[in-house]
Amino acid sequence: MPGVPKQPIVIIGGGISGLMAARTLVEAGEEQVVVLDKGRSGGGRLATRRIGDVAFDHGAQYFTVRTSEFMAYVEEWKKNGWVTEWFGAPHVRYRADGGMNRLTRHLAEPLDICVRVRVTSVEAEPNGWLLHWVSEEQEYVPQTYDEVMPEDIYDPGNKANIRARALIVTAPPPQALYLLKQGGVQVDEEQASKLRAVSYLPCLAALLTLDGPSAVPAPGYIRAKDPDEPVQLVVDNYQKGISAKPALTVYACGKWSRAHFAQADEDILRQLLQEAQVWRGGSAIVDAQLKRWRFSLAETVYPGRFAEVAHNAPLLVAGDSFISPKDEAQHARVESAVLSGIAAAKRLLELL
Ligand SMILES: Cc1cc2nc3c(=O)[nH]c(=O)nc-3n(C[C@H](O)[C@H](O)[C@H](O)COP(=O)(O)OP(=O)(O)OC[C@H]3O[C@@H](n4cnc5c(N)ncnc54)[C@H](O)[C@@H]3O)c2cc1C
């Protein structure tokens, strides 16, 4: 109908998967593509915290490249000065200039991205999807399929709706399923059970500002040999080149994080500081903060680059845990998130 604007394609999640999906759609000529993210900025698990002239990467520290498809993008990002090689072989670890979140900011530049928007349910309509949302500055709402407490959900009323003609959901599958369940969207049982099977490890990370150099060896990265060692990874963000002052990110392993997740921040920090004290060398800690990731790395993944939920209008679920059976690594990572977002967008273009 002339004069009536088309409803947008909406992407829930402005992590790297959602951003790459949106860029793929825009590059293919789609004009109305909107990315929604509940965070203060996009980027999701490509996260950088800045406190004055101190900076911490506290989600992914780097990414690796195993496919020529991803390498084509990385070559372009290298040329743009967005990423550089950090260390490692045979799979080089790439870091982002200025912090990992900066990469997603560059990727988001040409896109229409709305932040602090938490989608609370997705409902099917005859020709599209109806999304309810709240501003992240308002009440807490449950986040996962397993955390259903309908009485707690803040209902902003009918005004807070977004209509979409097609949807890509890149929130981790436990959260994606929750949104569909809230809106009464039926997912066929085979698909639903594959989505339900995806699970994530939590991760607790301490962000420590030091008054002098750390004892972390060059190039600012030390990983435990035993995957169950409480402190799994320590990164010196100064040596990494993103912080003006010595600043350590100390990651607990999944097992330790799960066992300690319910404890108070100060108790977790005290124990992590003790476990990691050798890495601060003789320097004192001038500030300590905690970051809690409920979803860090997927323990079990979805067998395929995206999931398609059959309905009147297209709905695809994508993200780092959607991995092709041909993927040689078979674990969730930045590369799998990128490839999933792109594959979901290409499939959507076929469906539209
Ligand atoms: C501690 C940690 C260390 C890691 N280390 C590495 C590493 O070294 N190398 C590597 O390759 N990978 C690493 N990873 C994994 C990597 O960060 C992820 O695989 C990748 O960033 C996932 O991207 P994504 O877009 O799929 O998901 P995300 O980045 O999680 O994006 C999903 C987005 O959806 C948004 N969202 C969720 N629900 C809603 C909602 N209801 N409404 C609106 N928005 C919503 C979230 O705010 C988020 O921004 C690490 C992750 C963590 C947490």
pLDDT tens per residue across span 142-155: 444 444 333 333 44
73 within a domain of the structure (yes/no):
no
Atom of ligand 1 nearest to the CA of 296: 53
Do 267 and 125 lie in one domain? The reply is no
Instruction: Kindly state whether residue 77 falls inside one of the protein's structural domains.
Output: no
SS3 assignment, position 67: coil
Asked if 283 and 225 sit in the same domain, the reply is yes
Which amino acid, one-letter code, is at 227?
P
CA 101 to ligand 1 centroid distance, Å: 11
75 lies in some domain:
no
Tell whether 161 and 29 lie within a shared domain.
yes
Q: How far is the CA of 4 from the centre of ligand 1 (A)?
A: 36
CA separation for the pair 304, 300 (Å, rounded): 12
- When divided into structural domains, the chain yields a total of 2
Atom of ligand 1 nearest to the CA of 319: 26
Confidence of residue 206 (pLDDT cuts 50, 70, 90): very high
pLDDT at 136: 66
The closest residue, in CA terms, to atom 7 on ligand 1 is: 60
Give the pairing of strands 83-87 and 315-317.
unpaired
Q: How confident is the model at residue 162 (pLDDT cuts 50, 70, 90)?
A: confident
CA of 59 to the centre of ligand 1 (A): 8
Query: Does residue 70 form part of some domain?
Result: no
Statement to judge: residues 220 and 314 lie in one domain: no
Long-range CB pairs of 31-34 (<8 Å, 24+ gap) are 32/5, 32/6, 32/7, 32/8, 32/112, 33/8, 33/9, 33/111, 33/112, 34/8, 34/9, 34/10, 34/112, 34/113, 34/114, 34/162, 34/164
* Per-residue model confidence (pLDDT) at position 185: 95
Same domain, 133 and 191: yes
324 and 183, same domain (yes or no): yes
Residues 120 and 35 in one domain: yes
Dist. CA 159 → ligand 1 center (Å): 29
Domain of 145, CATH number, reads 3.50.50.60
In a domain, 1, yes or no: no
- pLDDT at residue 145, rounded to an integer: 42
Question: How remote is the CA of residue 171 from the centroid of ligand 1, in Å?
Answer: 8
Nearest residue (by CA) to ligand 1, atom 33, is: 13
The residues lining ligand 1, judged by C-beta closer than 6 Å to any ligand atom, are 12-18, 36-39, 44-46, 59-63, 117-119, 170-171, 175, 179, 203, 205, 251, 293, 296-297, 319-320, 332-334, 337
Q: Is residue 116 very low, low, confident or very high in pLDDT (cuts 50, 70, 90)?
A: confident
Instruction: Answer yes or no: is pLDDT of 137 > 60.
Output: yes
Q: What percent of the chain has pLDDT over 90?
A: 82
d(CA 285, CA 309): 49
For residues 35 and 141, membership in a common domain is answered with yes
- Sequential DSSP letters for 80-109: TTSEEEEE-SSSPEEEETT-HHHHHHHHHT
Are residues 285 and 327 part of one domain?
no
Give the ligand 1 atom nearest the CA of 332.
Answer: 19
Instruction: With respect to residue 304, please indicate whether it lies within any of the assigned structural domains.
Output: yes
User: Is residue 47 domain-resident?
Assistant: no
- Give the residue, by CA position, lying nearest to ligand 1 atom 27: 15
Q: Which residue range forms the structural domain that includes residue 263?
A: 203-293
CATH of the domain at 249: 3.90.660.10
Q: Are residues 35 and 122 in the same domain?
A: yes
Last residue of a domain, one of 243, 263, 293: 293
Domain boundary among 273, 293, 313: 293
Q: Last residue of a domain, which of 255, 271, 293? A: 293
Q: Using the atom order of ligand 1, give the atom closest to the CA of residue 295.
A: 53
Please indicate, yes or no, whether residues 33 and 138 belong to a single structural domain of this protein.
Answer: yes
Same domain, 194 and 210: no
272 found inside a domain:
yes
